[in-house]
Structure 1
Amino acid sequence: MLMNMADLLAVANKHNFAVPAFNVSSSMILKGVMHTCEEMQAPVIIAIHPDELEFVEDSFVKSVIDEANKTTVPVCIHLDHGAKFEQILRAIRDGFTSVMIDASSLPLEENIAITKKVIEVAHPLGVSVEAELGTIGTADDYGEAGSKKIIYTEVDDAVKFVKETGVDCLAIAIGTAHGLYPKDRIPELKLDRLKEIKANVSIPLVLHGGSGNPDKEIGESVKLGVNKINISSDIKDAFYQECRKVLEDKGLREPMAIYPKCIDAMNEVVRHKINLFDDADKVKYYYE
């Protein structure tokens, strides 16, 4: 069941769980994520970053739409970290049901202005909009952009931003970072800041950089009101680490000989995240 993110997260907000946004950049990863979500009756957001879209190209989105239309599981197709207006327009043309405009590196007023511009285009077409306030860190040099310095989201700024833009959900900065953390770096979330923002903002809140954070903190953030958590590095790492092992057999070349074990390894992480976010068995709430 294909939905936009505003409708998808409204249910999560009401019932206090978080929907995972899994970054998908291949048919194998898509296959694994969708099968696991169906098995666990877990709503899901299929996220595609502009760099990933450059690789898989526009035709891949049609495959995601087809998967969403075939299942009774609520599915949103979301452009992750769109940085340019042209990227937003491309995603809308492709059939994404949600887009993120990430202008978090700009001054507050400029962030508000570009977010309003995106909303003016997206909302009449039934496409929901996510924005970011504050900056997410970066833990390694791969994947999505991040900032070397985390700028935590201010409560008053969040209230002003939501009021002036009418954005559907807001990614906040409370101490996460994109990528996989080095062994000597222990992430720590400012959960008190999350409580303050949630107490003053009614729309669903988003946590980016969810890979590698302690389960206890992530689980607590869900209880405190986060309704969407992005996961990219964790599932890709599991998938490709297993690929490396499988391909030690130099004679393998057929997909059914290579990818099932890789998908199984990834799905262990997918299941763990779904349970951690309290997302399992939540499809029932969308048919009440």
Structure 2
Amino acid sequence: MPLVTSKELFKKAYEGGYAIGGFNVNNMEIIQGIVDAAKEEKSPVILQVSAGARKYANPIYLKKLVEAAVEDTGLPIVLHLDHGENFDLVKACIENGFTSVMIDASKYPFEENIRITKEVVDYAHSRGVVVEAELGRLAGVEDAVKVSSAEATYTDPDQAVEFVERTGIDSLAVAIGTSHGAYKFKGEPKLDFERLETITKKLAGFPLVLHGASTVMPEFVAKCNEYGGKLPGAQGVPEDMLRKAASLGVCKINIDTDLRLAMTASIREFFVKHPEEFDPRKYLGPAREAIKQMVKHKIKDVLGSSNRI
């Protein structure tokens, strides 16, 4: 099976009231852990590459690793650009074989966001590639994305309708209170579900995307801290909130921080318990397994995408 777009996957997800995981990838072990989990759970999956990942791993290496994952598993896999900041980056990814791209012009005024997004949509659609865009701004830090709390803005439902109609995008990332990174909330977690329901109602049948949606799983934070890490107060989006979002038109839920924490917690534990070891396979193997088990949990218990293929 070749790489696929998200169009048909999102249609099924919307109708079925579940979401598909958008998992960020940076190296071989992360990719293997994610797709092994998806294969066992019989779930479609979206592998996301950020600008930072492209810089770290070299685009051709990531592309070939994802192609290997498709060949090895036979899964319907989407190769997606996460937070593409300009047309040139999006164009390069499309030429590199990506089947889905995100243009994030949310930092610009509404009309400029529309203009930039429409340019990307016209180019991508002519080449059979689907486009995600963002309206509203999420706070937090993830690779090159850095937005302060003061700069964050929630998605306006009426603007969302106009934005979708005028750009022709295939999915819309909305801001309802999630944020990037490991420190999503100070105090009690809260998402604006009333806003989400309004957007879903106004855009009936249109797939929405939730960024900054890692749970920042407490067991990984605790393990990191136990074995020398310093992550005081790290807090993410509770899983029951993510399940609710998936029932309200959110067809793609992005997960990156939880992958990093699962991998780092495993490696930290290994180094403390086995200080004599220096073979990377000895600590990357368990880290890959930690990612696999975490992704299986997300697919089965949070996203609801098990047994969908």
Shorter-chain TM-score bucket reads over 0.9
CA contact (8 A) 1:45 1:76 kept: yes
* SS of residue in 2 equivalent to 1:125: coil
CA contact (8 A) 1:238 1:262 kept: yes
Counterparts of 2:47 and 2:39 in 1: how far apart (Å)? 13
Q: 2:30 aligned with 1:6, yes or no?
A: no
Letter in 1 for 2:57: V
CA contact (8 A) 2:37 2:293 kept: no
Deviates more, 1:93-102 or 1:64-73: 64-73
Counterpart in the other structure of 1:25: 26
User: Considering only aligned residues, what root-mean-square deviation do their CA atoms show, in Å?
Assistant: 1.5
Letter in 2 for 1:158: A
Instruction: State the TM-score, normalized to the length of structure 2.
Output: 0.87
Change in Cα spacing, 1:165 to 1:154, as seen in structure 2 (3 Å) is same
Counterpart in the other structure of 2:115: 113
Letter in 1 for 2:58: E
The percent identity for this pair of structures is 37
Query: Which of the residues 216, 219, 224 maps onto 2:248?
Result: 224
Deviation of residue 85 (structure 1)? 1.2
* SS of residue in 1 equivalent to 2:147: coil
Change in Cα spacing, 1:27 to 1:181, as seen in structure 2 (3 Å) is same
Letter in 2 for 1:170: L
Counterparts of 1:87 and 1:186 in 2: how far apart (Å)? 37
Instruction: State the TM-score, normalized to the length of structure 1.
Output: 0.93
What is the correspondence of 1:137-216 to structure 2 with a 5 Å cutoff? 137-138=139-140, 141=141, 143=143, 145-149=145-149, 150-181=152-183, 184-201=186-203, 202-211=205-214, 212-216=236-240
> Displaced runs of 4+ in structure 1, greater than 4 A?
none
Change in Cα spacing, 1:28 to 1:22, as seen in structure 2 (3 Å) is same
Name stretches of at least 5 consecutive residues in structure 1 with no aligned partner: 284-288
CA contact (8 A) 1:41 1:281 kept: yes
Query: Which of the residues 268, 274, 278 maps onto 2:299?
Result: 274
Counterparts of 2:29 and 2:7 in 1: how far apart (Å)? 27
Letter in 2 for 1:135: R
Name stretches of at least 5 consecutive residues in structure 2 with no aligned partner: 215-235
Letter in 2 for 1:259: L
Deviation of residue 115 (structure 1)? 0.6
